Structures are given as C-alpha cells and as structure tokens.
Amino acid sequence: MDQARLPYTDTNILSAQKLSSEKQDRWLFKDISFTIEPGHIFHIKGTNGSGKTTLLRVLCGLTIADSGEVVWGDKPIGRQHDQYHTQLSYVGHTDGIKQDLTVEENLRVAAVLAQGKQQKSTLVNLTEILKQVGLNNKKYTFAHALSAGQRRRLALARCLLNDTSIWILDEPLTALDAQGVQLVEEMIKQHIERKGIAIITSHQALNIDDEYYKALDLS
C-alpha cells in the first residue's frame, strides 16, 4: 500500500448526544443521538426542509444546536475546535470554488488555505488527485467553463487534497452523471477503507456494503 493509502492516523468515534435544533417555532430534529465509528458511512435522509443541512452544519461546528452536543473521541468538538477541524472536510450545497481561477489554481488555493491541516504532499499529489476525480484534462480550464458536474468533482477533490479523516458532504451526487456517481462512491469506499468517516446527505441510494453503512431518516 503506498503512503497515500495508509490508514488515517487521527481517527476517533464521532457521536451526537441528544441534539435538538429549532427553526421558526418548529423542531427540525429533537433529542437525536447516534455514534459513527471510523470506517463507516453515515447517510442522513429526509425530505426537503427536514433539517439535513442544519444537522450537517451542527456536526461541522458551523451551527450551534439548541441543545445537545457533538463529541469527537472523548471531548465535545467546541473544546477541541482546532484539532477537530484539522481532520474535517466539508462540501456544502455550493461548490465553494472560484469561478475566475483554473481547476489547478483552485486546488492550489485550497492547499494554501489548508496549511494548518494535512498539506504535507498535497501539491506534489495534485496531478494524481485530478486524475482520480476525472479532471486531469481540465487542469488549465477556468472554473466558469466547467459543467455543473465537473464543478462538483472539483469541490470534492478538496477532500482528497486535504487528506482529512472526516468528510461531511451535502448532496455530493448532485449534477453528476452515472460515471460521476460511481467515481464518488469509489472515493467514499476508499476513504472508509482507510478508517475514515463519511457523513452525507443524498436523495440517491449509494452502492456501499451494508457492513459499513448506517442511516438516519429525519422525515
């Protein structure tokens, strides 16, 4: 196994403990608890407006729940903010890419922003990462010239670039064709094989072995 495929060195159980979140006098979710072990994918399901994105943001530490807490290892994430975010990659509804930069420039900027994270050899591996997400022939293409599916692939490439053990992905299959869906499924499979954690929302079923798959329906 080459160095890039070694298991993650900083992995912990991630758990939600009686999380509740309210919006406009309505509970999006109330007193939910779950545990995600390294090497598993956690699929959050639900209808539009059921609180899926809010829950992801709570798990990222970007939104504070009305009650309850998120614990990584043996501490709430709020008490180990820097260490937790060193191991976290979040891809939200928006792709978070710069339209006036090329594909390569976008990833180089992402690598610089992640200097405090796992930047060890990311620039060296940039070409390999572009091959893995199927954008090796778009290296010098400006982001605004990419299709919606290609922009999604570029956004997901940041997870590989930062080499983080926790991926939190909001509708990662949006705008992807069948080949793109298969590519993302393979990325996630390789990630959990390395004892990473993947938390996703998706209206589509995923081709993941049940042994490594957990689900929560907020509907």
Predicted local distance difference test score (pLDDT) of residue 115: 61
DSSP state of 23: E
Q: What is the pLDDT of residues 78-133, one digit of tens each?
A: 999 999 998 999 999 888 899 999 999 999 888 887 765 444 445 557 888 999 99
Q: What is the pLDDT of residues 33-55, one digit of tens each?
A: 999 999 999 999 999 999 999 99
Q: At 35, phi and psi to the nearest 5?
A: -130, 135
Angle of CA points 101, 184, 33, to nearest 5°: 110
pLDDT averaged over every residue in the chain: 90
Structure tokens at 67: 């009650």
Domains of the chain: 13-87+167-177+198-219 (3.40.50.300), 94-164 (no CATH)
Q: What is the pLDDT of residues 21-36, one digit of tens each?
A: 999 889 999 999 999 9
Predicted local distance difference test score (pLDDT) of residue 3: 44
Predicted local distance difference test score (pLDDT) of residue 124: 55
Predicted local distance difference test score (pLDDT) of residue 190: 93
Q: pTM for this one?
A: 0.91
Predicted local distance difference test score (pLDDT) of residue 4: 52
CB 9 within 8 A of CB 164: no
Predicted local distance difference test score (pLDDT) of residue 121: 46
Q: What is the pLDDT of residues 173-202, one digit of tens each?
A: 999 999 999 999 999 999 999 999 999 999
Taking residues 137-147, what's their average pLDDT? 96
| pLDDT of 70 higher than 90 | yes
Structure tokens at 84: 């937790």
Residue 33 C-beta-side C-alpha neighbours within 13 Å = 4
Helices (H), 80-207: 81-86, 103-113, 126-132, 148-162, 178-193
Predicted local distance difference test score (pLDDT) of residue 1: 36
**Percentage above 70 pLDDT, the chain:** 93
Predicted local distance difference test score (pLDDT) of residue 89: 94
SS3 63: coil
What gap in Å lies between CA 207 and CA 209, rounded to an integer?
A: 7
